[in-house]
Structure 1
Amino acid sequence: MNQSVFICVNLCPRIAMDVYDLQALMGENIEAEDYRDLWVVGLAVEMQHVASLLGEARRMADMLGAYVHYIGAGDSDEAIAFGADRVHTLAAESLAPDAAVSTLATFFETRKPEFVFFPATDIGNEVAGCLAQRLKGGVVCNCIALRLDESAREIVASHPVYDGAYYLDTALAAKPQIFTVREGAFPAPLRDSGRNGETEPMDSPADLAIRARALGEADYTPPAVSLRKAARVFAVGRAGNDSESAAIGKQIAEKIGAHFAGDRSAFDSGWIEEDQIVGVNGIEIAPDVYIAAGIWGDTLHRAGAEGAKFVIAIHPDKRAPIFSWADTCLVGKPKDVLPKLLALL
């Protein structure tokens, strides 16, 4: 019998895992470091916010023949009813982010969890990231879906990127695999009040010290938005302009909250700095509004500004190329037009 099992295990790795799972389910004596357990950590959240995580962890644990642990300061009976096999009660004073990281890192070093789930709250995301670094694991934050790959014993996480413009599926190679999951990602599980589980207190390290301290408001000035990312740009060129009208153009830019810029001719005239040149030979821009006064608008300039959503062109020559791709065109010398425009603002 033993040899037949041995042959089957070597011929079929999948059956080998099933035998392991059967041993776990039957309560065989397996070393703690070999457990493939799933952990749900609830920090400063109500049980209703982690119930769905417990339910999903329970579903995955049943597929893997593993156990579900819950760490939190909430009701242990509720956690067990929603799927936890063991509840580790966390002291309320250990819920500060840095204290939680130290406590969990020390606790997990001997438990070797395979999967750890946090609600995707501010504190959950912070602690999850720091914990992954401490344990040399992997982390994916703000997950909207989790898919278990049983054969590889890994979870594929779906999460938003680029401010939600796209969704990316990510699998982690390092263990433990840590995930923060957005509320509503999983349906609420059925509450089974008849489930049995264990509860044990979770101690904080004796030398634990809170490193984060409130120091008051900081004297901070946010960095200016770069020309490349500006929502509005007012640019000048040499056609129909002089130094005085270029200065007026700068005043107009300040009035309408736009970045002041220009083409190569404006730079050669000394009206702008090199990092204010718009075009292929300067900065490529994509503002909501682009006002070009006295700019010829050839192919090189157009390539640097064609990302603009709305273009207003002012030029004394009606044959200027910029009129072919501008949305609003005004034929006239900027040195005559700009003072009148400033007076209207």
Structure 2
Amino acid sequence: MDLLDGSLSLYAQSCEKTVLKRLLKELWKIVMRILEKTVVLPPMTDKSMILKNLTDNAKNLAANAKIEDMSRLFKNHMAGKQDIRNPLSGVMDISKEMEKNLSPKQCAVLDVALDTIKQYFHAGGNGLKKTFLEKSAELQSLRYALSLYTQTTDTLIKTFVTSQTNEDILSLDEGSVGEVSIQVDLFTHPGTGEHKVTVKVVAANDLKWPTVTGMFRPFVEVNLIGPHLADKKRKHATKSKSNNWSPKYNETFHFIIGNEEQLDFFELHICVKDYCFARDDRLVGVAVMQLKDIVEQGSCACWLPLGKRIQMDETGWTILRILSQRTNDEVAKEFVKLKSDIRTENPLPNPT
């Protein structure tokens, strides 16, 4: 903080007021972004997140370009003075020393530290207005991330299911890689309130998978996602079919859900995969069915289009990044693996 204070003081002495205000606004945005993206929500290391990280990096480059333009505005004011170290280097050094998985106490300390940082940028009325600082989108985003950080895995998964309503929307540039036929029946016990979800995997059709990969053994994996499932069966899978791009399965599975939550907070995450004996099974396509869409009728039989990956908005990515840091939580690890899985475009040959 001494480094930040010294740098801001030197800026105040060297820059005209209008230039200083514009500079402070950009510096404030960068400080908030770094706190959120580096300290609170460090980037996911899973290889399947490369696409998202590239997108984030592109956005950061665009934001940094504004700072480079801003630097030219006060370059003349700094002529002849000693170079100033990046006022954000202190924040970066702190983030390197902190554990990726913040504890509730660390989150509380960081929340208090935000008030101190705001005081520096407000500078007793000589800097930015308090209303600007409080209402800035960067601060609101950081505080939202902190609030999510202290929530339980069940609560975060519940928030994910209710907020991600377009997971199965196919992107225009990727399109469908096939379809899967399922029948889902819901039953609620009148006495205990427990729910039973029966899923029949009927068939898959027109699976787009290259023949050059050798043996193709497609099977369907059905995952139940939602809160309070740590002690429940969450995954079932059909038998694999050899070299069949429109296989028939006709296999039925049952999931049991407790009476703690309504069915609106649960979804079926359905994957078609290529079975591999010596390595991880490879994703062919994925589909999602939210149970809230079929609660009223109680059952549904349909064909679901398969995409190469699911679609998420910023809230979904934030929740995924938080859960990715809970390496000792099996439910969180399983959830992150499912939601971050992306089909490989050039799969290695499958041994016959």
TM-score band, normalised by shorter chain: under 0.3
Which protein shows a greater Rg? 1
Relative to the length of structure 1, the TM-score reads 0.23
Relative to the length of structure 2, the TM-score reads 0.23
User: By percentage of residues, which structure has more helix?
Assistant: 2
User: By percentage of residues, which structure has more strand?
Assistant: 1
